[in-house]
């Protein structure tokens, strides 16, 4: 008798523990859901305390990179003009000096105005994301309250094996959050490296600049699709469609890998299809010369 009571107590304790884990994870994710988009595109909002204390100064860091990139841009511009159009010892003489000068000016403009251009790009993508979510799901501000008030979605499976599915879904939600933060660090690195990418505009093919811009676009659509799937999974979960919620949260977690098969970048990246297109373009230009 004592053994069965002990087993019952252990099962009850484990169920209560899993219920607590699920509620904490879901409350954590739903509370921060509205910030997920800017976690990916403005990750510095998470450590503004360091920025305000001047422990980490992003503006000065960008200025240091910007000044160094400007020096490299000027040096390569002069070198390219002298070697290609005066000494005729390097480069492609068929590419007019005006095009090189135009690339130099474009690089300077983008370096100087990238902050404004990036902010505009993020606002446009955020408007698209908000339009999609508001049209499909309505207001998302009260999700955390719904999880606290509607206990049926937990109690329905509290004493069954189905509770394990809730734990899996909750963990996947948290993984999506950390995946989003990692993507935010990646975007921060891309933003800091944009002055060096602009140097590629001196070349006729744009160098790595094309692939760089495509990477921003790929990240934007990845974030929009992933967060939309996450919101759909939460809707299924609140409606106790546990299997659909699990399938959707799994798809949300796999979104970056899935979209990478379609949104392939090239120009300094590892996309095979992009490299093929790039190489075909080179071959075509060589055939025209002959």
Single pTM value for the model: 0.75
**Are the C-beta atoms of residues 163 and 157 closer than 8 Å to each other?**
yes
Mean pLDDT, range 99-117, rounded to an integer: 89
CA distances from 157 to 29, 41, 163, 182, 240 (A): 21, 37, 5, 33, 10
CA distances from 98 to 85, 104, 201, 206 (A): 11, 10, 13, 15
| Average pLDDT over the chain, rounded to an integer | 77
Could you identify the residue written with the tokens 């891309």?
190
Mean pLDDT, range 42-55, rounded to an integer: 81
**What is the structure's pLDDT at 272?**
44
**Are the C-beta atoms of residues 101 and 85 closer than 8 Å to each other?**
no
**44: pLDDT strictly greater than 70:** yes
Mean pLDDT, range 125-147, rounded to an integer: 76
**Are the C-beta atoms of residues 16 and 155 closer than 8 Å to each other?**
no
**Are the C-beta atoms of residues 107 and 199 closer than 8 Å to each other?**
yes
Give the three-state DSSP class for 290.
coil
**153: pLDDT strictly greater than 60:** no
What is the Cα–Cα distance from 66 to 108, expressed in whole angstroms? 10
More confident position, 215 or 86: 215
């Amino acid at each position: 008798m004592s053994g069965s009571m002990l087993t019952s107590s252990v099962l009850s304790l484990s169920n209560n523990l899993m219920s607590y884990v699920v509620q904490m994870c879901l409350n954590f994710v739903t509370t921060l859901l509205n910030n997920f988009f800017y976690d990916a595109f403005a990750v510095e909002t998470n450590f503004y305390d360091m920025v305000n204390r001047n422990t980490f100064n992003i503006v000065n860091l960008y200025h240091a990179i910007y000044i160094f990139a400007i020096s490299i841009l000027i040096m390569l511009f002069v070198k390219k003009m002298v070697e290609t159009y005066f000494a005729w010892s390097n480069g492609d003489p068929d590419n007019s000096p005006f095009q090189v000068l135009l690339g130099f000016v474009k690089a300077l403009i983008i370096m100087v105005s990238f902050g404004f251009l990036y902010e505009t790009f993020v606002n446009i993508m955020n408007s698209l994301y908000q339009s999609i979510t508001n049209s499909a799901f309505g207001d998302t501000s009260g999700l955390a309250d719904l999880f606290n008030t509607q206990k049926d979605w937990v109690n329905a499976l509290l004493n069954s094996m189905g509770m394990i599915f809730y734990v899996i879904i909750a963990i996947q939600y948290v993984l999506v959050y950390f995946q989003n933060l990692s993507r935010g660090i990646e975007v921060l690195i891309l933003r800091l490296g944009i002055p060096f990418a602009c140097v590629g505009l001196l070349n006729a093919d744009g160098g790595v600049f094309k692939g760089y811009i495509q990477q921003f676009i790929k990240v934007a659509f990845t974030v929009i699709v992933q967060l939309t799937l996450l919101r759909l999974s939460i809707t299924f979960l609140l409606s106790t469609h546990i299997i659909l919620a699990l399938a959707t949260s799994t798809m949300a977690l796999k979104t970056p890998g899935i979209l990478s098969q379609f949104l392939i970048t090239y120009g300094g990246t590892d996309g095979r299809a992009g490299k093929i297109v790039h190489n075909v373009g080179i071959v075509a230009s060589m055939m025209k010369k002959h």
